[in-house]
């Protein structure tokens, strides 16, 4: 019985160790999944730091050896010439530095060629060498002198550098000319300088990371590094809100102000800009009446959603505006928000995509989180074909764009049915959009915005000339016949060019000739 009980106890102990290992493994996996982005960032920073340290450790610290003061610095070829002519008495070698003592200064040696001037007693040469050696050994501080031996002429001391490749013939030449050769150990730089040279790149990298990751708000300094790193993925959408009545005098009837909404840790903070834009309504949209009627229903739902909710109807998730450039797609989106009196988020699809994979998807999530908090509202994505292209099976470098598109598809499906958020998108290349983006439930309506006809062009000209003084001879109906094929943007540019032409001529009114000159300029 004791053996059976012992085996059972061992089995239970092994089972407990096994369950503990499984529990610890689950905890480790949970920690890795929860903090995978922070771990990846930390590992990447460690690898970069190690790489920089490995590269810099192979470099040598900058040399601190400079030419000594009070000594004549000559070229190496000049020094060899002095050795060959026998004018060098002694030489001190210290690494690649060569210090020499001449018998006569350079300025006198060329004119002083007599034997009596070139010869000297052995005692005098020995005294000069001893004094010069002390001078070099003291670091070129001062010439030693006594009462019996006057100081040496400083112009006899010269200094030069040995070439980097060396010179194997130098030593035999010195010995053949009976030159006294002395050597000194190479001066080593301080240890702290070598360490500083290797750690400067790491200190520089750490300073950059500190500036990037340091919290801008001291009251919220406990945010994680992962949260601060992912600030790169915040949305850059521009938000237009109707301003409330203030004590300042109002310039126009209703104004919209451009704001940037930045959300961090679930709290949305908005920074107002001083740029004011007038409210855009359907009165500013002309020439595309059939398109405007398609969007009236969306405006009515944003104004009074209970009218449709009582019948079980849901707001259209999105509308895709398709048409050539300049036909008024962006203006229609602003008009929808202006008529409904709700916040308007505007962002170009190209602003989602960045160099770093995952930034675009993060910006999509942040944009739609802001939209849900501000519901009812309108989200407008211009040039959606920048991220909505068809996905292929080929392995390419479009991982960032594909992740952004996948996140956009998820967000379009993830709206609460009771959240009055409408997504409007514009494109002129609907043929390259992904089919998953075009299905009902994401973009329920596809609205084609085409070039305006003659009646539409006349209506557009009336809109753009409301505040423009026209001469009585100007006929907008005639201009509409002359501008066949022009879009709304082209007509707006035509009116502006005509106004500039009239201003150049100092006219009080815009004449028909001004329109003809402007038409010739823009066509």
pLDDT tens digits, one per residue of 118-146: 445 555 666 666 676 666 665 555 555 55
State how far the Cα of 354 lies from the Cα of 385, in Å rounded to an integer: 15
pLDDT of residue 414: 63
Enter the pTM of the model. 0.52
CA atoms of 91 and 156, how far apart (whole Å): 12
Task: Report pLDDT digits (tens) over 419-454.
Answer: 678 888 989 888 888 888 888 888 888 888 888 888
Question: pLDDT digit of tens for each residue in the chain (523 aa)?
Answer: 556 667 777 777 788 887 888 888 887 788 777 777 777 777 777 787 777 777 766 666 555 556 666 678 888 888 888 888 888 888 888 878 888 888 888 776 554 544 444 445 555 666 666 676 666 665 555 555 554 455 667 778 888 888 877 788 888 888 888 888 887 777 666 666 666 766 777 777 777 667 655 655 555 444 444 555 555 555 555 565 554 433 343 333 333 344 444 343 333 333 433 334 557 788 888 878 788 888 888 888 888 878 877 887 777 778 889 988 888 888 888 888 788 788 888 888 887 776 566 677 888 888 888 888 887 888 888 888 888 888 776 655 566 777 888 888 888 876 555 567 888 898 988 888 888 888 888 888 888 888 888 888 898 999 888 888 888 888 888 988 988 888 888 999 999 999 999 999 998 889 989 999 988 888 7
Spatial distance between the Cα atoms of 349 and 364, rounded to a whole number of angstroms: 10
**Which DSSP letter does residue 120 get?**
-
What's the CA dihedral at 465, 468, 473, 474 to 10 degrees?
A: -30
Start-to-end CA distance of the chain, whole Å, equals 106
3-class SS string, 273-302: EEEEEECCCHHHCCCCHHHHHHHHHHHHHH
CA nearest neighbour of 240 among 161, 143, 341:
341
Structure tokens belonging to residue 435: 């089919």
Tokens of 204: 């520089």
DSSP β-ladder status, 445-448 and 377-382:
unpaired
Distances from the Cα of 175 to the Cα of 161, 178, 183, 429, 453, angstroms: 19, 5, 14, 86, 103
Q: Which domains does the chain have, with CATH numbers?
A: 72-183 (3.30.720.210), 231-448 (3.40.50.300), 454-522 (1.10.8.60)
Backbone φ and ψ of 470, nearest 5°? -110, 145
d(CA 479, CA 458): 8
């Amino acid at each position: 019985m004791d053996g059976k009980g012992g085996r059972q106890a061992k089995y239970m102990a092994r089972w407990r160790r096994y369950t503990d290992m499984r529990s610890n493994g689950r905890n480790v996996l949970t920690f890795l999944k929860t903090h995978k982005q922070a771990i990846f960032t930390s590992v990447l920073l460690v690898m970069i730091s190690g790489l920089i340290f490995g590269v810099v450790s192979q470099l040598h610290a900058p040399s601190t050896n400079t030419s000594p003061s009070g000594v004549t610095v000559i070229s190496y070829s000049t020094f060899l010439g002095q050795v060959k002519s026998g004018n060098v008495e002694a030489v001190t070698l210290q690494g690649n530095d060569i210090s020499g003592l001449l018998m006569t200064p350079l300025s006198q040696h060329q004119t002083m060629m007599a034997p009596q001037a070139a010869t000297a007693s052995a005692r005098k040469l020995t005294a000069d060498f001893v004094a010069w050696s002390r001078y070099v050994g003291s670091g070129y501080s001062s010439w030693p002198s006594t009462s019996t031996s006057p100081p040496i002429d400083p112009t006899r001391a010269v200094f030069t550098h040995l070439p980097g490749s060396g010179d194997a013939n130098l030593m035999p030449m010195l010995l053949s000319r009976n030159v006294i050769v002395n050597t000194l150990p190479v001066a080593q730089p301080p240890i702290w300088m070598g360490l500083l040279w290797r750690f400067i790149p790491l200190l520089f990298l750490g300073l950059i990371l500190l500036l990037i990751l340091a919290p801008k708000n001291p009251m919220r300094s406990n945010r994680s590094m992962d949260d601060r790193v992912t600030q790169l993925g915040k949305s850059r959408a521009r938000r237009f809100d109707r301003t409330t009545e203030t004590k300042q005098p109002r310039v126009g009837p209703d104004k919209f102000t451009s704001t940037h909404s930045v959300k961090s840790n679930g709290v949305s903070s908005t920074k107002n800009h001083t740029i004011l834009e007038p409210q855009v309504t359907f009165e500013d949209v002309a020439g595309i009446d059939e398109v405007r009627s398609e969007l009236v229903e969306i405006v009515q739902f944003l104004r009074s959603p209970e009218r449709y909710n009582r019948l079980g109807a849901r707001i259209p998730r999105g509308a895709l505006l398709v048409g050539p450039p300049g036909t008024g797609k962006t203006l229609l989106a602003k008009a929808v928000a202006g008529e409904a009196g709700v916040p308007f988020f505007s962002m170009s699809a190209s602003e989602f995509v960045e160099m770093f994979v995952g930034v675009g998807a993060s910006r999509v999530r942040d944009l739609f989180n802001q939209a849900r908090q501000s519901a009812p509202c309108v989200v407008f994505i211009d040039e959606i074909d920048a991220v909505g292209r068809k996905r292929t099976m080929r392995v390419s470098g479009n991982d960032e764009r594909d992740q952004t598109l996948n996140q956009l598809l998820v967000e379009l499906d993830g709206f609460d049915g009771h959240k009055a958020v409408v997504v409007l998108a514009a494109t002129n290349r609907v043929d390259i959009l992904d089919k998953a983006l075009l299905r009902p439930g994401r973009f329920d309506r596809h609205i084609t915005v085409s070039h305006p006809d003659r009646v539409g062009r006349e209506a557009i000209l009336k809109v753009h000339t409301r505040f423009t003084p026209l001469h009585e001879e100007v006929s907008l109906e005639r201009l509409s016949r002359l501008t066949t094929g022009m879009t709304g943007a082209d007509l707006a540019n035509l009116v502006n060019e005509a106004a500039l032409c009239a201003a150049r001529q100092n006219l009080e009114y815009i004449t028909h000739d001004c329109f003809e000159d402007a038409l010739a300029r823009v066509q």
